[in-house]
Structure 1
Amino acid sequence: MHPVFAAAPAAAVAVAQSGVASQQAAVPLGIEMFVVVVSSVTGVLSARQHKLDFVGALWLAVLVGLGGGLLRDIILQVGDVYILNQPLALPTSLIAATITFVFPMIVERQDRIIDILDIFAVGLYSAVGADKAMVYGFEPTVCVMMGFFTAVGGGLLRDICLAKTPSIFKRGNFYAIAAIAGSTAYIFLVQGCSVNNIAALTFSTALTMFVRWLSLHYNIQSPTEVDLTRVVPRRHRTADVAGARREVTARSADALADRRERTLADIQERREQERRKEALSRLKRMRRKRGQRKLDV
């Protein structure tokens, strides 16, 4: 292929990116870095729980803080990688991780606050991730998936590095489902209702936090199995129950006949043994009588 034609797609992508970058939801830089700090702190706390060293703590902090966005950008392949284009992201994550690792007492007893800030970060990440995919022209389902990856991808990579089953795949209160709800709400508001990006981002973040709070308050957990027999119409269930009862009755009759046959066989065998014992005892008595007669003679 001629070099001019080979360079054309790359140039087109670069032009497209320069146009779409200004259309993305403008999150204030302070909030952006605050969310990176919160996520990085949760990564360091996980590292301390698993007795990792300083390097391990930094690695988990970067994974949790920026891994979801990196995973999203790798999948989208649009050439705009957040961790590379935002010069403050990586240093902020590393500084927050270092301070937390050296002075853990700052956050050790703030579990409730950390949980609230963490789900706030999940809500914001889910909306921003969905927004980026939408701006680059991807389908709504892809946008929702990218919001999901951005929100929980860091925790997913953290659990994989710790050789654990990712927590988003295990039964528990809504976390991943809350992220999906937030990204879905964002795409619906922006594309379906033409709501302003910032307003939609605020609402979807609040919705993510509300769904998480709802599941914690009422202890609603993600299902691990589904029993469709509960949704079968009653008449079908009645027929099934009647059939099951007939089957149980037939099995009971067969079992009763089997038991009767075994009982009769046992009785017959015992009678045969008694007859043998009686014959042996008669034979012994006859032998004793014969022996007594010989002695008398």
Structure 2
Amino acid sequence: MFPDLPVEPVLEVAGVFVGAMSGALAAVRKQFDVFGIMVLAWAAGLGGGVLRDVLIGAVPPVGISDLRLMAAALAGGLVMYFGHPRLERARRFIVVMDAGALALFSVVGTVKGLEYGTTAVAAVVVGVLTGVGGGMLRDLLTGEVPVVLHHRQLYAVPALLGALATVGLWRLDLAGAVGLTAVAVGVFALRVAALRFHLNAPGPWRGGGR
């Protein structure tokens, strides 16, 4: 039996809040109105969780049923609406917040998949999709190519490693507050390091010729 995880709701609320901030700030950069800013906050904060819940059969999805998480998304959007940094610094800030949301969601999504009785492989897939889903929706709604698909950035790879580590902790019965927090910190650190040192995934294989 999976141990009691009081840390999981905290991580999920934090992930929604941070993800919503990244969505709202992206909307600010695009000069969206207040409604558009809040829609982007909801999409970035809760989009991955909605996708996760649809895949594992959790009905209704948290994005339209969990008032706590919806309030966190609203709060993240309002924080950015009233207090966003200067626009010339916004892109870097979005990327850092997105790394935080990626880390938190990949862990929480994997845990929820396991709690719903999925296989380890399915839980990893759900965790990765939860991690990247909100960022993909944010980018699509602002007319950008989703970051997970371009520049060969290490975006899905940290989420994948985090999901695998979470499943490993599950199997070892070590998925408590310390373990899950450590995995989330590791995913965040890897994503930030990849950005700082330009660590990229391999591009298309060109064969042995020139």
| Same-fold status (TM-score > 0.5) | yes
- CA-to-aligned-CA distance 1:4-32 (integer Å, 9 cap, x gap): xxxxxxxxxxxxxxxx9x85633265554
One-letter amino acid of the structure 1 residue matched with residue 108 of structure 2 = V
Deviations 1:115-156 (A, max 9, x none): 444322211110110111111121212111111111110111
Q: How does 1:111-260 map to 2 (within 5 A)?
A: 115-191=95-171, 193-229=172-208
**Shift in CA distance, 57/201, structure 1 to aligned 2, threshold 3 Å:** same
Equivalents in 1 of 2:79, 2:192: separation in Å? 29
Asked whether 1:52 is paired with 2:57, we answer: no
Match in the other structure for 1:277: none
Quick check: 2:29–2:90 contact (8 Å CA) kept in 1?
Answer: no
Tell me how far apart the structure 1 counterparts of residues 141 and 93 of structure 2 sit (CA, whole Å).
Answer: 26
Is the CA contact (8 Å cut-off) linking 2:3 and 2:176 kept in structure 1? no
SS in 1 for 2:166: helix
Name the CA shift for 1:24/1:162 in 2 (closer, same or farther; >3 Å): farther
Q: Which residue of 2 aligns with 1:263?
A: none
Measured in 1, the distance between the counterparts of 2:87 and 2:6 equals 29
Contact 1:72–1:149 (CA<8 Å) still a contact in 2? yes
Larger relative contact order (CA 8 Å, sep ≥ 6): 2
Report how many aligned residue pairs link the two structures.
209
Following superposition, the deviation at residue 207 of structure 1 comes to 2.1
**1:113 to partner: Cα distance:** 6.1
Deviation at 1:108, TM superposition (A): 7.5
Cα shift at 1:84: 4.4
Q: TM-score, normalised by structure 2?
A: 0.84
The superposition leaves residues 220-250 of structure 1 with CA deviations (integer Å, 9 ceiling, x where unpaired) of 11222123438xxxxxxxxxxxxxxxxxxxx
Question: How far, CA to CA, are the matches of 1:69 and 1:177 in structure 2?
Answer: 19
Unaligned runs of 5+ in 2: none
Is residue 14 of structure 2 the alignment partner of residue 40 of structure 1? no
Per the alignment, residue 64 of structure 1 pairs with 44
Read off the aligned partner of 1:123 and give its amino acid letter. Answer: A
Please name the residue that 2:84 is paired with: 104
Distance of 1:27 and 1:107 partners within structure 2? 34
Q: How does 1:61-100 map to 2 (within 5 A)?
A: 61-79=41-59, 81-100=61-80
Which of the two has higher C-alpha Rg?
1
For residues 108 and 213 of structure 1, the distance between their equivalents in structure 2, rounded to whole angstroms, comes to 20
When the two chains are superposed, the root-mean-square deviation of aligned CA atoms in Å is: 2.8
